[in-house]
Amino acid sequence: MKSRWIILLVLCFTWSQRTHSQVIFNFLPEVYGRNVDGLSMVQIQNLSGGKIDGKVFISVKENKSKSDVMTLMTPVFTLNAGNSNLPRNVFANSSFNFASNALASIVNQTRSFPAGEYTFCFKFVSVDKDSDDESCFDGNVQPLVPLTLLSPDDKDKICQKRPPLSWQPPIPYSPSMKFRLLLTEKKQGDAVENLLTNSPLILLDNISSTMINYPTSAPDLQEGKTYCWQVIAYQNGVTISQSEIWEFTVQCTEPAPAMPKDSYRELQSLVNGNYYIANRYLKFSFTNNYNVKKLNYAIYSTENLKEKIKNTPEVAIQTGLNKIDINLTELDLEVGKHYLLKVMPFNEPAMEVRFIYQDKDSNE
């Protein structure tokens, strides 16, 4: 008699296990969890071997904010044996209930789930209450197209101290979506994220467009400095998407060409020598024996020794030995052509040096 009771208990336990595992759900949150309609794409597997009448209950929760988002209850329908989807007419006639919070309000309005970490739970309850099977799936939901900065481009160099700023909104996009823009100077040793959060140079909120002109109340950006910026999309106070942090540098003047590391040869030694190769700069040493403050010189093309090259830079000198660097890069000289440098010291004979102009880096 005792053995019969044990067999009966084993059979009951086995039947109970079969009952509670006869309906299995499969769902891909990253694919179908972007919007409410995607919930209907859940795969249902009926392992009972026969038809079951019942309802499906669906609940959605956002995990970071610990917010309930919505619940759904289908009408009673017949679940056939094997694999099937939730019938469209059953899903369309379901009861949708949204929680009383900002996130749920967005989902109710847009039928889309904002970016976040969600748990999607599916439960089948048969009409005879014999089965109550629930399966839950966690997923990180992101917009199909994230918010992307457009201009200024990342790592760009611009000559605008009050530049316009533009970006591409996330998709799906809602007309009620607003944007927050942060911009700050990049400083060594400080995390950019902290600078944007704690001490932004510009903080603009409630922006409805995807392009703004530089605000009139903000100070001009400064030459030579690098700035970081980011845009955040939100709706009803809930963050929908945020861009990467990009940076740009204000640079309105081209950096001066690198000065070759040539030695300074005595000017007199160059007078009677071969053609001197002048790579971007004329470099020589010169002794000033008088109290003269400015080097008296001129540069000519050897094709026309009567016409001086215009706009030669002024060169300051002092009494005694001077190391002279004359920048040739702004004089419109032609690479490979021959020129003449004429230096006219005070109360001394003029000295002439012929040179060939070059413009290349020292490692070329």
The pLDDT tens digits of the residues spanning 43-56 come to: 999 988 889 999 99
pLDDT at 257: 58
What is the number of alpha carbons within 13 Å of residue 20 lying toward its C-beta?
6
CA 215 to chain CA mean position, Å: 22
Instruction: Select from 200, 198, 204, 189 the least CA-distant residue to 227.
Output: 200
The pLDDT tens digits of the residues spanning 173-230 come to: 878 889 999 999 988 777 777 767 777 889 999 999 999 989 888 899 999 999 999 9
pLDDT at 362: 60
Q: Does the reported pTM lie above 0.75?
A: no
Looking at residue 171, the DSSP 8-state letter turns out to be B
pLDDT at 249: 93
Query: Which residues of the chain have a pLDDT value below 50?
Result: 2, 5-20
Instruction: Select from 304, 354, 359 the least CA-distant residue to 333.
Output: 359
The type of residue at 258 is A
pLDDT at 320: 86
Cα–Cα distance measured from residue 245 to residue 228, given in angstroms and rounded to the nearest whole number = 7
pLDDT at 128: 82
pLDDT at 13: 41
Domains in the chain, please, with CATH?
2-141 (2.60.40), 148-250 (2.60.40.10), 265-358 (2.60.40)
